[in-house]
Structures are given as C-alpha cells and as structure tokens.
Structure 1
Amino acid sequence: MAQHFLLSAAARTLSLKAIYKAGEEAAHDTFCKMRWPETDGEAVCPDCGCCETYKITTRRKFKCKGCYRQFSVTSGTIFASRKMAFVDLLAAICITVNASKGVSMVQLSRDLDCQYKTAFVLAHKLREAMAREVHTGEVLRGHVEVDGAYFGGHIRPENAKADRKDRRLKEHQTGKRRVVVVMRERLGRTLPVVTMAESEGVALVHSNVDRMATLSADEASHWDLLHAGWSVDRVNHSEIYSDHGKHTNWAESYFSRLRRMVAGQHHHVSPRYLHQYATQAAWLEDNRRKSNGVMAFGLVANAMDAPVSRAWKGYWQRVA
C-alpha cells in the first residue's frame, strides 16, 4: 500500500530548526522576496513605486531615492508596526501551517515566548491573510456540495433537575449560536460563510455558485429552493450518507476539521470571530496536499500582499 503524502518526506520541507538555524537575516530576506517577487527581493517604494532605494542596514529599513521616504518590508502590510523579530514571525507561520487542526493561543505564546495577547492578534492577522485566498470573489464551478453546521451557544443545564429549562426554546437560548454554511467544490475550493440560520445558505448559493454547476445537499427543506436554478442531488442522512455518488462528504470533511479545531484546540470561539476560524479551516482543507514549506511561504506571500489590518492593528489599545 502506498504511503500517504502527509507521512512522506516530501510533505516536510520546512522546520523550526531550519528557520532558527538560518537566523534573522535569512528570515528578513524571505519576507523581502515574498513582498517584492518581481525584483527578487529588491525593495520597491510603497508610496511612489520607485525601484531606486538603498538599505539602512542598522535598522533593516530602506529609503527611497525618489520621494525620500523610509520604509520597511512590512510597511503597508498586515504586519505593519510589528515588533516581533522576522525569525519569530516565520516560526509562527510555520507552527500555524503545521497544526492541521489549529493551535491554541496559549501554546503559541509559549512556543514563541511572547504574551498571550501578542499570539492572539498575530494568529488573527494570519487568518485575515488566509481569507485573501479563500474569499477571492470567484464563483464556484463544477460539482459543489452545500451544507451547514451549528457552532457555539451551548447552554449548561442547571444542577437540579427541577430547575432545568427546555433549551430548545428561544427564550432560553443565549443568542450566540451561529451557523457555518459551506459551499465546497469537489477537488476544488472551499467557501465558508457564517450566518444566523442555515436557510440563508440558499441566497449564498445564488451569489457564489455558477449557474452551470451541479449541487449536492441534504434533505433539509430550505434546500428545495435550489432545484429552481440547478441540478441538485439530495441525500437523506437519516437513512444513508452516500447513495451511488450522491453525498456531501466533502462538506462534512470540512466540518470535521472545523469542529475539532473549535472543540479540541480553542475550546470556545466567540461568534464575533467564528468567520476567521472557519476561513482558517477552509484554507487548511484546500492546501492539505501541499508541503508545509509551500504552505508557509504561500501564507507569507498572502500576508505581504494584504493591507494594514483595520480590525487587528492596535486591537488591545482600543477603548471598549
């Protein structure tokens, strides 16, 4: 029997040992090459686009000969105003892509020897960079599976049986429960969206799936509306999970990873940030057949192409 790709040496092309052995200068050069691939890492002014720059080596900065602006490799990117060393940033990215079900922020802060707050914001910036690859705006094509799953909003029952309430009733719920609706191409992209109800997935399919595509869905009644625009395979999960090629196993595979990420690693995810964890799970699913080196450098490239984060820059300094 052939060895699984993830167990082979080809899947391991980057390690923490190699990152720290190469040192800070090599990590900085990696970020430069990902930021300016057209010039093989030679700095280009982010303001005027001038290629005539020179290095200020004592501070790892550059100065433009055209507009005289000083800038660094992370200026204007999602890592703007960063204080962490480049070797630690690259190590954090390596840890993130190596963790197939995600990594807790306590563990990441211990691995990097930084504050919990630093690890928390850094991880969310990386998820924001992943979103540039997941949420491209392109419609899904081919055969697309659509499904929904509920996350959060757990209500702990009272200790005494006489005090317990019917947690199915709306008045006894917390309002924090959310639905992740996923649309996934077979052998293709994964697109998750967080909604209040699974029935909202019908409108999402209309916006994000090509009219020439075919669909697979379960027997939930709201998916009946999809038959008006697409050829839809339906499978009744109360009776069978796969019926001669009719299944939503690709969507269920995504939910399996996301559930283990939320329950097994993070234990609790706020509904405010659930969309970022859903995006991370989708990115990991779509890149699962790539080596960890390809995944890490791809994530660096996404981060270097992403603008300054309006949600996470100065997150802990804001006044509530």
Structure 2
Amino acid sequence: MSKPYNTFELGNLDLLSGDVLHDAWIAYKTHGRLSARGDNVVVLPTFYTGTHARNEGFFGPGRAIDPERHFVICVDLLGNGISSSPSNSARAYGAKYPLVQMWDNIACQHRLLTEALGVDRIALVAGWSMAGSQAYQWAAQYPDMVDAILPFCASARTSPHNSVFLEGVKAALCADQTWDNGNYKSPPVAGLKAFGRVYAGWAFSQSFYREGLYRQLGFETPEDLLKDWEEDHATGWDANNLLAKLATWKAGDISAGPLYEGNFTAALGAIKAKAILMPCTQDLYFPPQDNAIEARHMPNAAFRPYDSPWGHCAANPGNDPGFTKQLEANIRELLP
C-alpha cells in the first residue's frame, strides 16, 4: 500500500550545529499544480504537533489558499515522526538525536523545492506556531526567493519566557523514570501524560478557562480537557520525537547561522518579503509584543494582532471563526 505522502531523500545531512543526521529525509504532500509562470507556490510547513495532513485545515476550494489556483506544498518538520525523527531513524539515536535547527529544516525544504519540484519562487510561506517561525526563517534565509510571509501565533526568535515554558513541559516528561534518559524500552506514559497536562495550561488563555469555552470542545470541566490531552500525548506521540522538536523550537532564531551570525536586527532587516504578522493577543507563549518588535525592523511588515480568548489555539481550524475570517482576509491581501 503506497504512502499518502512523498519523501525526499537528503542523504547524510550536515547540520548547522556541525553534527550530521545520517540517511535523512523529509516528507511532504502537494496539492494543485505549479503554474506555467511558477508564481503560484504556497509553502505550509508544519507546527509542533502538526503533520502535512493537519495543514489541510488551512486551505481548500474557494478559500484564500485554493489548490485550484495555488500549488500548495505541505512539508513535515524534521522530528515529527514522518520526516526523519528519533522514532523512525535507522540509527538508535534516542535522546542523542542531533540538534536540528530551523536553518536545517529550511535548507532541506529549499532543496526539495528546487531539486525535486522545479520551484524557484515562492508566493507565500504561512503557518501557525513553529510553522510560522519557519515562515520567518524562509524569508531571512532565502530573501530573494520569497514574495510574502504570514506567520500567525509565531515569532522569529524564541523568547526567554517561551523557553521557560518549553523547559517546564520537558521536565514533566523527563521526570518519568521510564524515560530513562531517552533509552526507554516502552513509552514513558506517565511522563507523556504530565507533558500533556502542563501543555494544556499554556495552549489556551486564562479567559478560555474562566469563560468555560472548553465546553465548546465537548468538555464539561477543565479536568475533562486535561484527561483528553493526557491521552492524546500518551497515545499519539513518541517522547524523543517531542523532545527533538522541542529542541528545534527552543533554538529558534532567524539570525542563527552564517548569514547573520546572531545579529537579529540585521536578519529582520534583510527580509524583503511582504509580511503580515498575526499574533493572538492572549497567546501565552507567542505574545504580540514580540511581533511588534519584529515588525519595527522588517521593511515590509504589517502588525495585525487579533484578540481571542482561545489563546494560542485560536489558530486551530474550527476553534475561533473570527480568527479564521481575519486570517483568510490577510492571506488574500498577500496572495495573487
């Protein structure tokens, strides 16, 4: 039975850290066709717990991103269990999986587009959370290739407070003795459940819980939601995959690498793409203040915050119709 996606072989991948990821690949799925002029490409990277399939909630017939008009490329993040990851590598990396940074992911995506898909211009890179961080990375790493970006509930550099959040969920997972420094023989279920419970406190806002919006998701109490998040993480995710992607997220910084050598302001200033930055004002770990700072240093950026009690999860398709409506309007403004 064929896989419902494609893979692009990368061979032994030299990473920004100086380490090597052996026999690597990235997974992807395309929708629509490349136009004769090559000017209709939309790249949608994946978010932290996302896959190419989850991205299908952001486009469709008659929508701002429409496969009838656009060539949509959904690319799986390294470490997400579909692209090269601790769980599917031929080498038993475990917790010693090398650090894969945003730079590495975008360099691989660039190879996919140019070597396999015949793409030399991108009309739009958009995405939620870590996918939005990759949109910034694309525009800084290949400024002459990207026409527009729309990162939503994301940032160009992971803030210190965001890192503290990540260390908290990581500590909850790694406290499970079954994790055994990444050498577990069976899933560290207690740690995965703790990870999910802690994460649920950050994914939604205080208003979400105060106003009982969890009932719109089918939960009678906050505890019901916590139990659901427990089970989702315990049954749906490999611990070392979560930690590998968490390391990528924590290291997020568009100025990392040889182009800007840590000069964040210079990296933002080098972005030529037209940009709309769309944070949620009640996002607890990608707050709008970070995007406001970024916009001041980007030549062609508009800062468009959206207020929603759904917090970071306002962007999840189906949660907040108002957010989706505004996102669609912003995309239409950027896309030909």
Short-chain TM bin: under 0.3
Which of 1 and 2 has higher RCO (CA within 8 Å, sep 6+)? 1
TM-score of the pair, normalised by structure 2: 0.26
TM-score of the pair, normalised by structure 1: 0.27
Which structure has the bigger radius of gyration? 1
